[in-house]
Copies of this chain bind each other. A is one copy, B any other.
Amino acid sequence: MTVKTIYDLIHTVAPFDTQMEGDNSGLLVGSSSQEVSKVLFALDITEPVIDEASAIGAELIVTHHPLMFNAIRSVTDETYEGRLIRRLVRENISFIAAHTNLDQAVGGINDTLAALCGLVEVSGEGFFRSGFLPEPMTVRAFADLLEENLETTVRIMAPENRIIRRIGLCSGGGSDEWHAAAEAGCDAYVSGEIKHHHALAMADAGIAALECGHFATEEPGLAALAEALQNSLNHVECNVRVYVSAVSAYAFSRHP
CA distance A44 to B202 in the complex (A): 14
Known: A157-B250, A205-B255, A209-B250. A73 touches B68 (CB 8 A): yes
CA distance A253 to B237 in the complex (A): 39
Asked if A124 is at the interface of the complex by the 8 Å CB criterion, the answer is no
The answer to whether B159 and A252 have CB atoms under 8 Å apart is: yes
Known: A155-B155, A203-B251. A28 touches B76 (CB 8 A): yes
The answer to whether A250 and B199 have CB atoms under 8 Å apart is: yes
Number of A residues whose C-beta is below 8 Å from B? 61
Which residues in chain A, 129-158, are within 8 Å of chain B measured between CB atoms?
153, 155, 157-158
Which residues in chain A, 182-222, are within 8 Å of chain B measured between CB atoms?
192-193, 195-197, 199-206, 209, 213-215
- Chain B's nearest CB lies how many Å from the CB of A3? 9
Asked if A107 is at the interface of the complex by the 8 Å CB criterion, the answer is no
The answer to whether A89 and B77 have CB atoms under 8 Å apart is: no
User: Contact mask A233-256 → B, CB, 8 Å, 1/0?
Assistant: 000000000000000011111011
- Chain B's nearest CB lies how many Å from the CB of A243? 20
The answer to whether A250 and B155 have CB atoms under 8 Å apart is: no
Asked if A226 is at the interface of the complex by the 8 Å CB criterion, the answer is no
- Chain B's nearest CB lies how many Å from the CB of A61? 14
Asked if A24 is at the interface of the complex by the 8 Å CB criterion, the answer is yes
The answer to whether A75 and B213 have CB atoms under 8 Å apart is: no
Q: Can you report 30 residue pairs joining A to B where beta carbons are below 8 Å apart?
A: A24-B73, A27-B76, A29-B74, A29-B76, A30-B76, A31-B76, A32-B77, A46-B200, A46-B203, A65-B196, A68-B72, A68-B74, A69-B197, A72-B72, A80-B201, A80-B205, A85-B89, A86-B89, A89-B89, A90-B92, A192-B196, A193-B195, A196-B214, A199-B249, A199-B250, A203-B253, A204-B252, A204-B255, A206-B252, A206-B253
Chain A residues with a Cβ under 8 A of chain B: 24, 26-33, 44, 46-47, 65, 68-69, 71-78, 80, 85-86, 89-90, 92, 153, 155, 157-159, 162, 172-173, 192-193, 195-197, 199-206, 209, 213-215, 249-253, 255-256
